[in-house]
Copies of this chain bind each other. A is one copy, B any other.
C-alpha cells in the first residue's frame, strides 16, 4: 500500500458473462478526509462473494447495482485510522461496505465495531451477515429442519453452503452436499461430517441423489440453480422447503437460462420456495453470532478461508467463485493486520 495514495478498483463497464479485468479500472486517488461524524478506515480484508458479480450488473437486484465510475462495492474488515465520530476511536476494528480500495471514509453508524479476535479472518469467513447470518436464518428460520429429515445443499463447499449444511447436521438432519471437485467432496464428508457428497462435474447428480436420499428430500439449500436444482426438485418430499440462497450458475449468463422443468413438483408436493437475503434479518444477527461462536468452539462448525494477497488481484480473483477454484471463503488481503 502506498502511503498517501488510495488505490481503488472502479467499475467502468457492466460485465457480459464473467467479469473481465477490463470491466474494472485501477485508480490511485488521494486518501479521503473524514467529515464531521465520519471516520477514515484502512481496509485490511476485502470479502469477495458471488453477489459481487450480481452487483456489477447494469440492472438493480436486491440492492442498486454499482454505477459506472463508482468504486466497486464490497464488504471489508478494516481499522479506524482517524475518527470524527465520538463512538469510534483510532485503532478500532470495524466491518462495513467500504469497497474495493485501500481507504474509505464512512459515517460512523454505517460500521459495525468488532472485537480483535484471532484469527481476524474469522470475521469475513464466518462471523458476518453475508455468511454466518445467511446460513443461520436460512436453515433455522426458513427451512426449520426436524431431526431425521434429509437436507441437500448445492454449492456445499462454498462459504455459506458449508455452514448451512453443518447447521443442518447440528439439528439432526441427514445432509448431502453437492460440490465441484473431489477435494471439496472429501472436505465435506471427512472434515465437516456431511453424510455424503456428490461431485456434479463427474457424477450423475440425479442418480446420486436417488441413492443418497432414499427417503426423498425435505430441505433443499439452493446456491446454484440450473440442472442441479432441477435434479433436487425431482425428489422432493411432501411439504419440502427450498431455501433459495443463490443461483450462482446463472450470474454470468448472457442468454436466458433454462428454468427447472420439475417446478411442477413444488405444486404436487405442496412445497415452498423462499428467496431471502440476510439484510432483512439483521434482528437475528446477535443470536446467530452467539450460536455460531458456541458451535465453532465446540468443533461443530468448521470453515476455511482462501486469502488472495493484494488488492491489485481482486479483479481476477472474483472469478474463482465461478470457475470453482476457490477453496473456502474467498477474500483479499488489502493491508497488514493491526
> A residues near B, CB below 8 A?
54, 61-62, 225, 230, 244-247, 250, 256-264, 266-277, 280
Select one of B250, B256, B270, B275 contacting A269, CB under 8 A: B275
Q: Interface centre among A230, A264, A266, by most B CB within 10 Å?
A: A264
- Closest chain-B Cβ to A34's Cβ sits at a distance in Å of 33
Which chain B residues lie closer than 8 Å to A250 at the CB level? 264
A288 CA to B260 CA, complexed, in Å: 34
Which chain B residues lie closer than 8 Å to A245 at the CB level? 267
Contact status B267-A263, CB under 8 Å: no
Which chain B residues lie closer than 8 Å to A247 at the CB level? 263-264, 267
Copies in the complex: 2
Contact status B267-A246, CB under 8 Å: yes
- Closest chain-B Cβ to A155's Cβ sits at a distance in Å of 13
A280 CA to B282 CA, complexed, in Å: 33
Contact status B270-A276, CB under 8 Å: yes
Residue of B nearest to A245 (CB): B267
A280 CA to B258 CA, complexed, in Å: 32
Select one of B62, B270, B280 contacting A62, CB under 8 A: B270
Select one of B244, B256, B270 contacting A267, CB under 8 A: B244
- Closest chain-B Cβ to A193's Cβ sits at a distance in Å of 28
Contact status A261-B267, CB under 8 Å: no
- Closest chain-B Cβ to A329's Cβ sits at a distance in Å of 20
Q: A271-B275, A272-B273 are in contact. Are A244 and B258 (CB under 8 A)?
A: no
A134 CA to B259 CA, complexed, in Å: 27
Residue of B nearest to A59 (CB): B268
A266 CA to B244 CA, complexed, in Å: 8
A300 CA to B266 CA, complexed, in Å: 32
Which chain B residues lie closer than 8 Å to A230 at the CB level? 259
Residue of B nearest to A274 (CB): B272
Contact status B270-A280, CB under 8 Å: yes
Which chain B residues lie closer than 8 Å to A269 at the CB level? 62, 275
Q: Interface centre among A230, A247, A272, A275, by most B CB within 10 Å?
A: A275
Q: A272-B273, A272-B274, A273-B272 are in contact. Are A257 and B267 (CB under 8 A)?
A: no
A272 CA to B242 CA, complexed, in Å: 10
Which chain B residues lie closer than 8 Å to A54 at the CB level? 268
A61 CA to B264 CA, complexed, in Å: 10
Q: Interface centre among A250, A258, A273, by most B CB within 10 Å?
A: A273
Which chain B residues lie closer than 8 Å to A276 at the CB level? 270
Select one of B262, B267, B268, B275 contacting A259, CB under 8 A: B262
A-B contact pairs, 30 of them (CB 8 A): A54-B268, A61-B268, A62-B269, A225-B263, A225-B264, A244-B266, A244-B267, A246-B267, A247-B263, A247-B267, A257-B264, A258-B258, A258-B261, A259-B259, A259-B260, A259-B262, A260-B260, A260-B263, A266-B273, A268-B275, A269-B275, A270-B275, A270-B277, A271-B274, A271-B275, A272-B272, A272-B273, A272-B274, A273-B273, A273-B274
A261 CA to B226 CA, complexed, in Å: 10
